[in-house]
Structure 1
């Protein structure tokens, strides 16, 4: 990710571009420089990562009345829901957003309408997911299954405990019988807890 900053007619405008490590930045940088960008912040990670120092610095730098210009919306966020959250946060700070590729500008009625449509699509996706989840539960119930985790085979727990008592580490014992370490500790008789056992 790179964030390019510039001043236009005395108004600070922040121009931002995000990219994953290894991508050629030249064409994206050129597009933003053509829009008047002069300063660059960059991260060597994609928009999918949480820890993005360059992005965080740009967000701290933005002030009311600024415009954040990006080469394309997909560079700014990891999902539609996250994009809408970022847009809402920026608009809450009084920061406008412009995307060069999609030709979206939140200072225009068309740009605001586009973001409203994206918000409606995101809401629809959430509702469809909820409907599919409910339908899946109903189908499972009809087949005689209830929700939640499947019941643990006590035989496996005892096997893992025996292996542990025989000198295996918790991790080794759990791997051999096919259970998780948390399951082992949840069912471990007289164990002081995970920190007391090697694993």
Structure 2
């Protein structure tokens, strides 16, 4: 009976010693305790993604230049859009008016009149017929360039509204990040450089 109690006592003592001696050691740590990292859970509010937002912004900018920028709440871009398109329209109208002046004067000369604004008071005209033709060609070319620039600025306005609406919904929070890290390796007495990719659900 004594043997049995002694055997039970030794067995309990051995298991208690085994239990307390179970300190977890990593084979590479060489006696260095592990660093405990505690991650705090936080509530993150995520805005819903509207897949139609870019197309709406582009449509609004196509209907009225600057309206897509207002839809994206980029109000400071509206004067830039209107100024750019307005400048193109101004140069188109100005060159068109000059073209009409020289064309009308040339038509009157072909009809035999000498009373156009470019003829002058003397017997010889201030601007010859060839000069009127060259002026018409120059102002027609300037008018076409101004029209192409205006159309390009109008298209750029639509593209800007679309891209800006895409970028407004781009995910830049801390749940998805790529950061460089620098760590001192105590085992090899060197430094480690690398990139850390964090992706939290």
TM-score normalised per structure 1: 0.25
Greater Rg, structure 1 or structure 2?
2
Q: Flag the structure with higher strand content.
A: 1
